[in-house]
Amino acid sequence: MAAETQPAQGALAGVKVIDLTRVLGGPYCTQILGDHGADVIKIEPPQGDEVRDWGPPFRDDAASYFVGVNRNKRGVALDLAKPAGREVLMRLLEGADVLIHNFKPGTLEKWGIGYADTLAKKFPRLVYCHITGFGPDGPRGGLPGYDAAVQAVSGLMSINGTPESGPVRMGTPIVDLGTGLNAAIGILMALFERARTGKGQAVDCSLYDCAISLLHPQAANYLMSGKPPQRIGNAHPNISPYDSYKTRGRSVFLAVGNDRQFERLCAELGAPALSKDKRFLTNGDRVVNRDALRGELEGLLAGHDGGALAERLIRIGVPAGAVMDIPEVLADPHAVHRRMVVESGDYRGTGIPIKLSRTPGSVRRTPPRFNRDGAAVLEEAGYLASEIAALTEEGILAAKRRKGGGEG
């Protein structure tokens, strides 16, 4: 994939990010920063980011998993396990605003470039973000974490599914994505604070902490009531009707949040008296009597087409949506209008969800091939062509991927 060259733009233009992350949470974070103008230099180990191999599908020797979260980055392959590689990293950090990594706790310290002992002293303005599985300390401190395993141990899996299915992993890697979002927010907070004080700081984001923070409203319910949450499928523990329903066409999801919306729903279904039924007068009543309400609604919905009904309902103020699949969504006229599919050459990806009026995000660079920008980045840092050639010859700057898996 060829890189596009456009003038610096975006709200984060001028911010330089050294990205040592792999897999998903960190790359998702840095793609957000890159989308909005940050100069993100993605440094991969000689083996490459392992998600380059997480396919099919593949294009140009990179899986869609890699392509989906690594646009707007410059790609460098550097062997940080060797002192000469760490010397290059330190030189790149001289002009950097942010360093983000997801090595196991203690790795940078083992290499002599830990934050407290080295980086904070040498680069006092540096914002340092460390993404871990469980944090650096505590009973599970330092242990590795992957999304699904953390979904399990954080309780997220326990609230997903039905009584019949048992705990079910959420289909999207919500823990990794949520951690990436929190990391981006933390980095931006630290940069904002640095503008006032001139000092950088460390940002600690763990998958475990971020997963627990996503346990809403189930954790809030338990902390108030003392009653453990139950698996209720697509339904909502605090709101009714808030569930998916079969129709004569596609299924429809009703997300009725107040009494007025419930009245409009009943009127649209030709049963205005249902909203006056004492079992269903308030949301609290409807939650207590959710099974009875479901029976009433299923009978009324049986003659409707879910797609057409959802369109009518949402236009009269009743939150509802037809249950659509991914191809339908990405081709939907509204997704197209909101530019939620972006293209550049043979690259296609999901769009930029944060839309700023004066400094909009953009796709300036397609996801990098392995070490695509290595020589250019080092030259920019002051390395001579002969020095770059020597680093390449020594394997410090990796021209080709080495065989073997990624780092733990």
**pLDDT given for residue 403 in this prediction:** 83
Query: What distances in angstroms separate CA 103 from CA 41, 121, 135, 156, one per listed residue?
Result: 17, 21, 11, 24
The 10s digit of each residue's pLDDT in 20-30 is 999 999 999 99
Percent of the chain with pLDDT over 90: 96
Q: Which of 176, 209, 243, 325 is catalytic?
A: 176
Q: Considering the domain boundaries, does residue 132 fall inside one?
A: yes
Q: What is the CATH number of the domain that holds 203?
A: 3.40.50.10540
In this structure, are 120 and 30 located in the same domain?
A: yes
Task: Report how many domains make up the chain.
Answer: 2
Give yes or no: 332 in active site: no
**pLDDT given for residue 330 in this prediction:** 96
Q: How confident is the model at residue 3 (pLDDT cuts 50, 70, 90)?
A: very low
| Phi-psi domain of 343 (left: phi exceeds 0; alpha: psi -120 through 50; beta: other) | beta
**pLDDT given for residue 406 in this prediction:** 52
**pLDDT given for residue 9 in this prediction:** 86
Q: How confident is the model at residue 240 (pLDDT cuts 50, 70, 90)?
A: very high
In this structure, are 270 and 129 located in the same domain?
A: no
In this structure, are 23 and 149 located in the same domain?
A: yes
Q: Considering the domain boundaries, does residue 6 fall inside one?
A: no
Other beta carbons within 10 angstroms of residue 396's beta carbon come to: 22
Can you tell me the distance from the alpha carbon of 143 to that of 153, in angstroms, rounded to the nearest whole number?
13
Q: Judging by beta carbons within 10 Å of its beta carbon (0-12, 13-18, 19+), is residue 200 exposed, middle or buried?
A: buried
Can you tell me the distance from the alpha carbon of 228 to that of 64, in angstroms, rounded to the nearest whole number?
39
Whether 2 shows a pLDDT value over 80: the answer reads no
Whether 74 shows a pLDDT value over 60: the answer reads yes
Q: Considering the domain boundaries, does residue 225 fall inside one?
A: no
**pLDDT given for residue 225 in this prediction:** 97
Overall average pLDDT of the 140-157 stretch: 95
Q: What is the CATH number of the domain that holds 274?
A: 3.30.1540.10
Q: Considering the domain boundaries, does residue 154 fall inside one?
A: yes
Overall average pLDDT of the 52-76 stretch: 95
Whether 93 shows a pLDDT value over 50: the answer reads yes
Which one is predicted more confidently, 2 or 308? 308
In this structure, are 119 and 188 located in the same domain?
A: yes
- Domain of 134? 16-214+342-393
Say which residues have a Cβ less than 8 Å from residue 247's Cβ, sequence separation at least 6.
Answer: 301, 302, 303, 304, 305, 306, 309
**pLDDT given for residue 4 in this prediction:** 45
Overall average pLDDT of the 15-20 stretch: 98
The 10s digit of each residue's pLDDT in 169-187 is 999 999 999 999 999 999 9
Give 348's strand partners: 343
pTM of the model: 0.93
Q: Considering the domain boundaries, does residue 85 fall inside one?
A: yes
Q: How confident is the model at residue 407 (pLDDT cuts 50, 70, 90)?
A: low
Q: What's the whole-number average pLDDT of the chain?
A: 95
Q: Considering the domain boundaries, does residue 77 fall inside one?
A: yes
**pLDDT given for residue 405 in this prediction:** 55
Give 203's strand partners: 129
**pLDDT given for residue 243 in this prediction:** 96
The 10s digit of each residue's pLDDT in 255-302 is 999 999 999 999 999 999 999 999 999 999 999 999 999 999 999 999
Q: How confident is the model at residue 60 (pLDDT cuts 50, 70, 90)?
A: confident
